[in-house]
Amino acid sequence: MKEIYWPQLLRALTIPKAATALQSLASYQISRWRKKEHLWGAPFVAHIEPTNTCDLACPQCDTGAGRSTRAKGFMPLELYRTIIERNARHLIYLILYDQGEPTLHPDYIEMIRIAKRHRLYVVCSSNGQRLADADYARELVHSGLDVLMLSADGITQESYGAYRRGGSLEKVKTAMALVNEMRLRLHRRTPHIQVQFVVMRHNEHELEDAENTLTAWGADRVLFKSPYVRSAAAAAELLPSEPRYRRYGIEEGRLRTLGIRRGSCPRLWYSLVVHWDGHVVPCCFDKDDSYILGQATQPLREIWHNQAFSDFRTRLLHQQWPELCGNCSNGLKIYPT
Ligand code: SF4
C-alpha cells in the first residue's frame, strides 16, 4: 500500500467500480471464513506485461539472469487495446509492467494513453535507462501516467551497478531531472516519481544518505525495499545485515520466508496477470506460465470465473500451496519503515 499515490487512485474510482471492488473483497473474506470459494464482482487490478525483454542483467531477476523459459516478445498493440476496451468497466488499477523493462515496447507511451483514456490508474516501473531522453520524458509526462517507479539501489555507480548490471546511474538521475522539468513545463503533478532502493549488503552503507540524495535528484518518494532472492546462496551474498530488510531466514541450508501468515491469497480475488502473448496467469510470481488460466482475447471477467481459476483459488483456500507461492511477498512488509 505504501507505493500507492492516493490522490490519483481516487480519481480513477467511480461508484460502480468501487462497488465492484467491494464485492470482490467481500467475497474473499467470506471464502476465507467458509473455506469455500465465493466470487462476486470482477478483477479490479490487472498487471499487463508489455514485454519480457530487458536491457539490464540483474542477477536475481529471471529475465535479467536469462533463467526465464518463456519465449521473448512484445504484446501486439491491438491485443492490448482489446484488453483495455473490454475490461475497463471494472478495472481501476493497471500495473503496466511485469517481467522485463516495459519502456522497451515501441508503443509503450500509446499503451499508457489508451489506459488513461479509459480513466485507469496507471503505474510504470522502469530501470530508467530509456527515459534519459528529453523527447521520451516529455511524451511520458504527456501520456498522463500516474506513477513512475524507478529502480536506483545505490547513490554511486559502483553500488548501483553491482546489482543493476549494465545500467547507468547517471541515466536514472537524468530521467528524474527530465521528468521533473517536463512536469513543470506542462503544469502537471504526475507522474509521481517513486524511487525504489532495494537494500542489499553492498549498498546498505549508503542508506543514511540515500533519501536526501535521491530526493535532491527529483524523487517524490523513496521506498526502501527488502531484496527478493532465489536461493540460500544468493541470500548469503546479498542480504543486508539490517534485520528490517531481511525477509528470509536459512534453515538447514534452505531459504525460508520469515513472518508469513497466510489464510489464503487475497490477490486471487481482485487481480490477475496478462503476459505479453495474452496468457493469463494468477499472479506476478508465475513468471514462466506454470498456471495458464486463459487467453486475454476473452474478457478477463470470464477467465476470472472459469473452472481453472476457481480450482486454483480452492487449492489455496485448502492450504495446498503450489511451488510458486514459496517465495511470495504477499502478506509481508517488503517496504519496512
Ligand atoms: S505466489 Fe501464491 S500466494 Fe503469492 S500472490 Fe501468487 S498465488 Fe498468491
Q: pLDDT (tens digit, 9 = 90+) per residue, 63-94?
A: 988 889 999 999 999 999 999 999 999 999 99
Cell of 149: 517507479
Q: Distance of CA 82 to CAs 45, 78, 88, 124, 211, Å? A: 16, 6, 10, 20, 41
Mean pLDDT of 188-216: 96
Residue closest via CA to ligand 1's atom 6 equals: 283
Query: What is the tally of helices (H) and strands (E) in the chain?
Result: 11, 11
290 CA to middle of ligand 1, Å? 12
Residue of 250, 281, 262 whose CA lies nearest to 330: 262
Q: What is the pLDDT of residue 256?
A: 85
Q: Could you report the per-residue pLDDT of 243-284, keeping only the tens digit for each? A: 899 988 888 888 888 876 667 899 999 999 999 999 999 999
Higher pLDDT, 118 or 4: 118
Q: How confident is the model at residue 334 (pLDDT cuts 50, 70, 90)?
A: confident
Residue from 95, 98, 265 whose mutation best tests the ligand 1 pocket (most atoms within 8 A of CB): 265
Buried b (16+ CB within 10 A) or exposed e, 147-173: bbbbbbbbbeeebbbbbbeebbbebbb
Mean pLDDT of 30-53: 96
Q: How confident is the model at residue 330 (pLDDT cuts 50, 70, 90)?
A: confident
Cell of 182: 517536463
This prediction has a pTM of 0.95
Q: What is the pLDDT of residue 248?
A: 87
Q: How confident is the model at residue 296 (pLDDT cuts 50, 70, 90)?
A: very high
Q: What is d(CA 86, CA 124) in angstroms, rounded to the nearest whole number?
A: 21
Higher pLDDT, 334 or 102: 102
- Answer whether 285 contacts ligand 1 (Cβ < 6 A): yes
In degrees and rounded to multiples of 5, residue 316 shows phi and psi of: -75, -35
| Strands 254-257, 248-251: pairing kind | antiparallel
Q: What is d(CA 189, CA 22) in angstroms, rounded to the nearest whole number?
A: 29
Determine contact, residues 269/28, Cβ cutoff 8 Å.
yes
Mean pLDDT of all residues belonging to the chain: 94
Q: What is the pLDDT of residue 262?
A: 67
Residue from 289, 325, 329 whose mutation best tests the ligand 1 pocket (most atoms within 8 A of CB): 325
41 CA to middle of ligand 1, Å? 20
Residue closest via CA to ligand 1's atom 1 equals: 325
Q: What is the pLDDT of residue 252?
A: 83
Residue 329 Cα: closest atom of ligand 1: 4
Q: What is the pLDDT of residue 261?
A: 63
Residue from 283, 316, 321, 334 whose mutation best tests the ligand 1 pocket (most atoms within 8 A of CB): 283
Q: What is d(CA 4, CA 11) in angstroms, rounded to the nearest whole number?
A: 13
Q: How confident is the model at residue 216 (pLDDT cuts 50, 70, 90)?
A: very high
Determine contact, residues 108/50, Cβ cutoff 8 Å.
yes
Mean pLDDT of 24-49: 96
User: Residue written as cell 495446498?
Assistant: 320
Q: Could you report the per-residue pLDDT of 134-184, keeping only the tens digit for each? A: 999 999 999 999 999 999 999 999 999 999 999 999 999 999 999 999 999
